[in-house]
Amino acid sequence: MSDPPLAAPGAGTGRSGRVGLLVWRISGAAGPVLAVILALLAIWYAATVWLNAQWVLDQAARADRMAGFGDILRGTLNQERPVLPAPHQVAAELWNTVALQPVTSRRSLVWHAWVTLSATLTGFGIGTVLGIALAIGIVHNRAMDMSVMPWAIASQTIPILAIAPMIIVVLNSVGVQGLLPKAIISAYLSFFPVVVGMVTGLRSPDAAQLDLMRTYSASRAQTLWKLRFPASLPYLFASLKVGVAASLVGAIVGELPTGAVRGLGARLLSGSYYGQTVQIWAALLMAAFCAALLVGLIGLIQRLTLGRMGLAR
Amino acid sequence: MVVEARRLDLTFQTADGPVQALSDVSLDIRAGDFVSFIGPSGCGKTTFLRVIAGLEEATGGSVSVNGMTPDEARRARAYGYVFQAAGLYPWRTIGRNVKLPLEIMGFDRAEQDRRMRDVLRLVELEGFERKYPWQLSGGMQQRASIARALAFDAALLLMDEPFGALDEIVRDRLNEQLLDLWARTGKTICFVTHSIPEAVYLSTRIVVMSPRPGRIADVIDSPLPRERPLDIRDSAAFIEVAHRVREGLRAGMGDDV
């Protein structure tokens, strides 16, 4: 975005006009969104029948009788340990673990989600601050530009599954346990998009804008604070959306190698130990919901911030 | 003297080898002068302005601004600079754009407000301080950028084709306003332009430049009075000066065109 956004469509209209526009957009989008959801559910059900059918056929063969289509349909949609649980099974599991349990209970998926979210948010905070600090260093210091960026890129080529246990083990040996190791793995994944976005953003002012600051004999700090930083905010928000989703992945992966008993990662792990596919899928959906929530939240902050700055589209 | 340039040379090192942007440029600019620099692209007029501003460093000769080196003069906030593009920060309102240099230079809040209002009145943009740049026309944006350059009250105003991107009608109007502003503030103005009528209409002195290498082809002291209504452009004196500028440009171009 070398060009600053000019008049946004509908920007001249009042608040009521904007709300009206929003309602129109949502109602306009409702049809297609609903159609996609229904299509996904249909595919999911079809896949459930197809993938779980073998078990029903095996059972029938053992009992030495033929399984009709009705038998397959009944037999595949309510198995206790299905290859792929049906949507209504996952929904029931979600209902049981979200609505029917007190949120402080260890059986509550909300409680597990909160454990993971707190590590996610801590890690996201660390990653964002680190990412912004590195970007400022890279933009202002040629030596850092040459030296830090290759390492940052290299860090992201290491599979997180390989390095996460190392981080946990090393930190554990110096007595750091619990939330912090997970947060660090989460930060490890989220700082990178922030660095990349912020370096681009901080460098986005053109030569004339920088010359203007020079004619004022502005210090580097003043140029950073009054020109580079505000100019970088649209880039920062785009990076934060990527970063927060990466943070959540990091926190979940960080829960796996410890054999943790708390968090969404722990639910995934114990689910796979005991073949509780329904539990795994419920935890996955919960994780997806958390990611959507976090990205949506950042989108909201983005709109409010850029709107206040007169940069909203 | 506000600006004294003596045998100024500037050579840029480019990938295609050295390019001589300025060659043997000597010029004095007196306080209160309105000096226009005119010439084809590549004649070094913008480069010369940037040397005065301390944005480029000459490779030979000497230049002083208010008796200081350009770098010292820049630090002493000796000049305001208006760029070809208004370059207002889109996240700042017009008022806060005008206050930008004042914030950087450490004026207190009350003084920032007072000066912002004063210069916006000077460029006839009163009441627009809460608008964002995109809510203003191109001409108004350029007036706001002039207000921004005037805000800290430097005695020297450097303008690099400030009206180049605007249409003829808006340009005429802004030229009139600029002359009026110059008369009221008594500033020294260096003004880079492509337009012969604009140069002749505005200036007390016209510096005609020619390219390859960038050099001064002619310096014309305008016989026109300081008080200039728009229709002075139909007078015989105006047409004569414009003719001399055109001759100077043609001679400087040689066989290039």
In chain A the domains, ranked by start, together with CATH numbers, are 15-84 (no CATH), 86-308 (1.10.3720.10)
Q: How confident is the model at residue A1 (pLDDT cuts 50, 70, 90)?
A: very low
**Positive or negative: CA dihedral A275, A281, A283, A288:** positive
**Identity at A240, one-letter amino acid code:** L
Residue A53 pLDDT > 90 = no
| Residue-level pLDDT at B256 | 52
d(CA A56, CA A73): 9
Judge whether residue A24 has pLDDT over 70: no
Average pLDDT over residues A230-238: 93
Does the beta-carbon distance from A212 to B87 stay under 8 Å?
yes
A6 touches chain B (CB under 8 A): yes
CB of A252 within 8 A of CB of A192?
Answer: no
Candidates B128, B125, B123; CA nearest to B185 is: B123
Assigned token pair, B188: 């020294």
A chain contacts of residue B105, beta-carbon cutoff 8 Å: 216
Residue A14's pLDDT is: 46
Instruction: Check residue A138 and give its pLDDT.
Output: 93
The per-residue pLDDT for range B74-105, each reduced to its tens digit, is 888 889 999 988 889 999 999 999 999 999 99
**Contacting residues for A80 by C-beta, under 8 A, at least 6 apart:** none
* Residue whose structure tokens are 């680190």: A130
Q: Tell me: cis bond preceding A193? Omega within 30 of 0 counts.
A: no
Q: What's the rounded Cα separation, in Å, for the pair A249 and A113?
A: 13
* Beta bridge partner(s), residue A40: none
Whether B104 sits inside 8 A of A7 (CB atoms) is: no
B233 — pLDDT class (breaks 50, 70, 90)? confident
Q: Which residue from A6, A222, A310 is facing B104, i.e. has the nearest CB? A: A222
CB A185 within 8 A of CB A160: yes
ipTM associated with this complex: 0.88
Distance from CA of B236 to the nearest CA of A (A): 40
Distance from CA of B81 to the nearest CA of A (A): 7
pLDDT of residue A255: 87
The chain B residue lying nearest A222, using CA atoms, is B104
Question: Hey, what are A36's tokens?
Answer: 């996609």
A209–B contact, CB cutoff 8 A: yes
Instruction: Identify the contact set of chain B against chain A, taking CB-CB distances under 8 A.
Output: 53, 55, 74-75, 77, 79-81, 83-85, 87, 89-93, 100-101, 103-105, 132-135
> What does B86-125 look like in DSSP terms, one character per residue?
----TTS-HHHHHHHHHHHHT--HHHHHHHHHHHHHHTT-
Q: Which CATH code fits B3-78+156-253? A: 3.40.50.300
pLDDT value, residue B130: 92
Amino acid at residue number A265: G
Q: Are B53 and A209 inside 8 Å of each other by CB? A: no
In the chain, the amino acid numbered A204 is: S
Antiparallel, parallel or unpaired: β B60-65 and B3-14: antiparallel
pLDDT attached to residue A187? 93
Which residues from B are below 8 Å from A214, CB to CB? 55, 74
d(CA A95, CA A87): 12
Which of B200, B206, B208, B207 lies closest to B230, judged by CA? B200
Domain with CATH 3.40.50.300 in chain B: 3-78+156-253
Q: Which residues pair with B37 in a beta bridge?
A: B192, B207
pLDDT score, position A258:
67
B100 CB neighbours in chain A (<8 A) are: 216, 226
Please give the share of chain B, as a percent, with pLDDT higher than 70: 98
Confidence of residue A6 (pLDDT cuts 50, 70, 90): very low
Cα(B193)–Cα(B159) distance, integer angstroms: 9
* Number of C-beta neighbours around residue A79 at 10 A: 18
Query: What are the respective helix, strand and coil percentages of chain A, to the nearest 5?
Result: 80, 0, 20
Identify all chain A residues contacting B137, using CB atoms and an 8 Å cutoff. none
The partner residue sitting opposite A216, judged by closest CB among B89, B101, B132, is: B101
**Encoded amino acid at B72, one letter:** E
Report which of residues B256 and A160 the model is more confident about.
A160
Give the closest-approach CA distance of B47 to chain A in angstroms: 13
Task: Please tell me if residue A208 touches chain B, with a CB cutoff of 8 Å.
Answer: yes
What's residue A8's pLDDT?
A: 41
Q: Which of A258-267, A286-295, B169-178, B213-222 has the lowest mean pLDDT?
A: A258-267
The pLDDT mean for chain B works out to 88
Q: What percent of chain B has pLDDT above 90?
A: 31
Q: Do the Cβ atoms of B132 and A310 come within 8 Å?
A: yes
CA B192 to CA B40: how far, in whole Å? 11
SS3 call for B47? helix
